Each structure stands twice: as structure tokens, then as C-alpha cells.
A = this chain, B = another copy of it.
Amino acid sequence: MIGVALVGGGFIGPLHAANFAAHPLARLTWVVDLDLQAAESLASRHGAQATSELDAALSDPDVRVVMICTPPRTHAALIERAARAGKAIFCEKPVDLDVRKVDACAAILASTRTPFFVGFNRRFDPTHRALFDAIRAGEIGRPEMLLLSSRDPEISPPDYVAQMPYGIFYDTMIHDFDMVRWLLGDEIVEVFARTACMLGTVENPHRDPDTAMVQLRMKGGALVHVNSSFRAVYGYDQRIEAFGEKGMLISRNQQPTSLERHSADGIRQDSLLRFFIERYAESYRRELDEFVRAIDGGNAPSIGVADGRAALVVADAAVESAKSGKAVSVAG
């Protein structure tokens, strides 16, 4: 059994904690949180120990893995400490919001030969994965265009927005930038981005972009479109469309039930699932399973620090493009 110390008990932490606890090869050993009460509450649910001191967990020889679920600005320091303690790392995305710090992390991870995984969970969604597999199997031949819609039903709370300007690129589309690279097996070389503030001043008091459209060009020539909004009132909208010489693949949205209601007003189906944790429940399970099995088997996890860096560089370029109104080249 692989002992896991989970750092950061809020937000996505409980989800990962439950998945580790349910995994046949893993065991949640510690929950680390500055808020000791929160740590205890989560730990007790899974028979783990709680602490507000990371060292307590790092010094436990039963701990082989550190799972980082804290806010992004804390990631780099935690990565360094965990790596120096000889623990494998599962880090929620992004690695960091500063490329230089990501590079520093990469250097430490390399020198300590630390197994490292960054949580681009969407790669593990069964339908997205089936789309990936179909591309790789040559079903649509060479991919020529890729379209991604990535829309949230609501904007994050003002506090959260204030801490991460241009979160639409750094927090949301960073997933899509990763998906583009992964699906096409190619690097992004050009970014053109436009943003808008469509929400009102009540929901979006900081006037940070809540709507964005991005056009990318790949090294191999494929053209890519990504759009995002923070008010898809009909639910969490997550679609991917890959167009190629032999056809098209679409990863469609998913609904809570498959009920169809026919009336004089039309035919009605459920709205989309609203919460990313519901929509991507299976992908969270699968990414963790893959990570645990990689650690267990002594293999490198499939998504590394270089992937985290590449998506961040595109997000930086998107900000620059949105500000300048010019297409920005990226060293793909």
C-alpha cells in the first residue's frame, strides 16, 4: 500500500482524499492543512492522521506520495520540500503561475529524480480519451482543425478572482491548452486571443475577463479554436471537436439523466451537469489510478512538469495577445 500525505484539505482536496482512500493500492495516511480542524475533519473520515505541519507527514516513512491541493502560489515551495524528502508528487494544476518558478521546480525534480504528476485530469475523461484514441488510431487521418468549448456556469468568487488575474487563461483554458497539445501530439506556435467582460459589476466586480476566444496555430499546421465563458447558465459546457481528412470526432456534453420529455412546447432533455466535480468525477478517479499504478510499478507518470510548463507558456501568450491585440508567437 502506498501511503499518501494530502496537503490542502479544502476545495478539491476531499475528492482526491476519497479517491486515494478507495484505491486498492493506496492509503490516505496524512492530511496536512494550516487549518488543523479542517485537516482533522477530513482525516477522520478516512482513518488518516491530521497535522498542520508538513514535516510531520514528510518524516513519516510510510508516506511515499505527497498530493498537493493547495493554492497555486504555494505549489513551488511544497514541490521542493516534498522532492527533497524523497516523496513522489501529485500536484494539482498549475505547477505555478510563473514560468521561472516552474523551471526551478523542474530542475529540482530532475536532480532529485522525483516522480511528478500534474493533474490535467481532463485527459482521463472516458469520452475525451476515446476521442484521443480515435485520433491516434487514424480514424480521422491527419487532424486539421480542433475546436474546444470550455464554459463554466458561473464565475469564481471575487476573492478568488482577485488572486489570479486572467484566470480565464490561467485557471480554465490552461486545461484546454494542455488538451490541444495532448490530442494533437503537437506544439502550439501562435496564439491570438480576445477577451471581454460580459458579466455585470455585481458578479464580476474586478472586471477580470469573463469571456475569451482564442485561435491557435500548431507547429504541424493545424488550426485550433478555444472559447470560454463564466456564465453558461445551462451548465458546465465541455465539448471538443476534432476535424481531419477522414472525418470528425465530437466529445459531446453529458447530462444527469437520459430522460426525454415530449410536450406541445417541444422535446426537452436535462440541462448539462453543472459542477466540474460531477462532470469529471470519473477522470479524477482515473488520473489518480494511473498515477498510483505508475508509482507502484516504478514508472514515470504520464503528465510531467514539462506539460505543466507548456500550457502555462500558452496562457502567458494569451494574456499578452489579449492585451496587445496581436498574435503572439510561442516557441513550440
Interface segment out of the listed A109-117, A159-167, A191-199, A298-306 = A191-199
Interface segment out of the listed A33-41, A61-69, A124-132 = A124-132
Residue of B nearest to A237 (CB): B248
Kindly state the separation between the CA atoms of A56 and B236 in the bound complex, as whole angstroms. 51
Name the contact of A266 in the complex, choosing from B151, B227, B229, B271 (C-beta under 8 A).
B271
Given A142-B198, A269-B267, A327-B192, check contact A262 B248 (CB 8 Å).
yes
| Chain A, interface residues (CB within 8 Å), range | 35 or more
The answer to whether A215 touches B225, judged by C-beta atoms less than 8 angstroms apart, is: yes
The answer to whether A134 touches B254, judged by C-beta atoms less than 8 angstroms apart, is: no
A261 at interface (Cβ–Cβ under 8 A)?
yes
Given A192-B327, A267-B269, check contact A247 B233 (CB 8 Å).
yes
A325 at interface (Cβ–Cβ under 8 A)?
yes
The answer to whether B127 touches A259, judged by C-beta atoms less than 8 angstroms apart, is: yes
Residue of B nearest to A251 (CB): B259
A53 at interface (Cβ–Cβ under 8 A)?
no
Kindly state the separation between the CA atoms of A248 and B127 in the bound complex, as whole angstroms. 22
The answer to whether B246 touches A263, judged by C-beta atoms less than 8 angstroms apart, is: yes
**Which of A246, A247, A259, A264 neighbours the largest number of chain B CB atoms within 10 Å of its CB?**
A259
A60 at interface (Cβ–Cβ under 8 A)?
no
A253 at interface (Cβ–Cβ under 8 A)?
yes
User: C-beta contact mask, A114-151 vs B, less than 8 Å → 1, else 0?
Assistant: 00000000000011001100100001101011010101
Q: How far is the CB of A312 from chain B (nearest CB, A)?
A: 22
Kindly state the separation between the CA atoms of A126 and B192 in the bound complex, as whole angstroms. 34
The answer to whether A130 touches B248, judged by C-beta atoms less than 8 angstroms apart, is: no
In the assembled complex, which residues on chain B have CB atoms less than 8 Å from the CB atom of A130?
Answer: 257, 259, 270
The answer to whether B144 touches A198, judged by C-beta atoms less than 8 angstroms apart, is: yes
A323 at interface (Cβ–Cβ under 8 A)?
no
**Other A-B pairs beyond A147-B147, A190-B194, A325-B327, 6, CB < 8 Å:** A194-B217, A196-B222, A234-B267, A249-B260, A267-B270, A267-B271
| Closest 3 pairs between A and B when the two form their complex, measured CB to CB | A234-B262, A247-B263, A127-B257
